[in-house]
Amino acid sequence: MGKRILILFFIMNCAAVLQAQSNDYDTVTVEAPIEEVTSAERYEEEIEMPPDTNLVKHLINIEKDSIDSWRRKKAFAYMSNIDSLLKASQETKSQPRVNTRGPQGVSFMSRLLGGPVVKIILICLAVFFVGIIIYQLLKSKGIFQASSASKVSATPQEEDELLLQNDFDQLVQQAYKLGDYRMAVRYLFLKTLQQLRDKNQINYEPDKTNSRYVYELPANWRNEFSRLIFQYEYVWYGHFDIDIKQYELVQNGFHTFLQKV
């Protein structure tokens, strides 16, 4: 019991000492300076607001008399020109557009070939070629040979019979004196065939063509004999009347070839 009282007394003394020490210090209160801000210096944060996208219709009623009076003023003289241009534009749009370029997708060559002039030209060409074919067919049958036959002083015998002649030089001279150079060329050609046959250079047959005789000859004779065949067929079958100078050129060609045979 006495110890408790002693401890309590000791604690009370310590508390009194601590109280005395805390009173020895001066209490200093520090206050932060407060700046007064006037309304002019106040900072106001600007908040960016989104733009207003709403459309609001404001109907403005303008009297027709006012519009007419504006048009009569010199400052608005262009209004009459605008009205005329608008009317012309509307009339142009209302008129149907004429297609001068032809149907879509058709080329220039197709339109050209489809024209009437080209069609007439093509028809004329077709008739011309058909006429040539008909003429050649009739000519091959001897229909057009009657007039030329009348020019010959003596009617020639068949070719195979003429090859039996022994003196073609005399026949050539007779035709030459009569001025029948076509017949003289024919006799020169038959004389050449006769000599080629007699020397076994060709195998003569009445139905054999002249071009087949060419391939029976030696190779070094073929070109020259082909040229003689061309001259003979051009003069005789082509009914081409040659003069004396042309005949002499043909005669020299046959004589040169016969010397080789």
Q: Does residue 112 register a pLDDT over 60? A: yes
- Note the pLDDT tens digit of each residue in 170-207: 999 999 999 999 999 999 999 999 999 999 999 988 78
What confidence score (pLDDT) does residue 78 get? 59
150 vs 168, more confident: 168
**Sign of torsion, CA 127 130 132 137?**
negative
Helices (H), the chain: 2-24, 64-72, 78-94, 108-113, 116-140, 146-149, 159-162, 168-177, 181-198, 210-214, 219-236, 244-260
What is the total residue count of the chain? 261
Determine the Cα angle at 195 with ends 192 and 200, to 5°.
Answer: 125
Full-model pTM? 0.41
Question: Rg of the chain's alpha carbons, rounded to an integer?
Answer: 66
What confidence score (pLDDT) does residue 2 get? 64
Q: Does residue 169 register a pLDDT over 70? A: yes
What confidence score (pLDDT) does residue 227 get? 94
User: Are the C-beta atoms of residues 69 and 77 closer than 8 Å to each other?
Assistant: no
Average pLDDT over residues 140-144: 50
What confidence score (pLDDT) does residue 182 get? 94
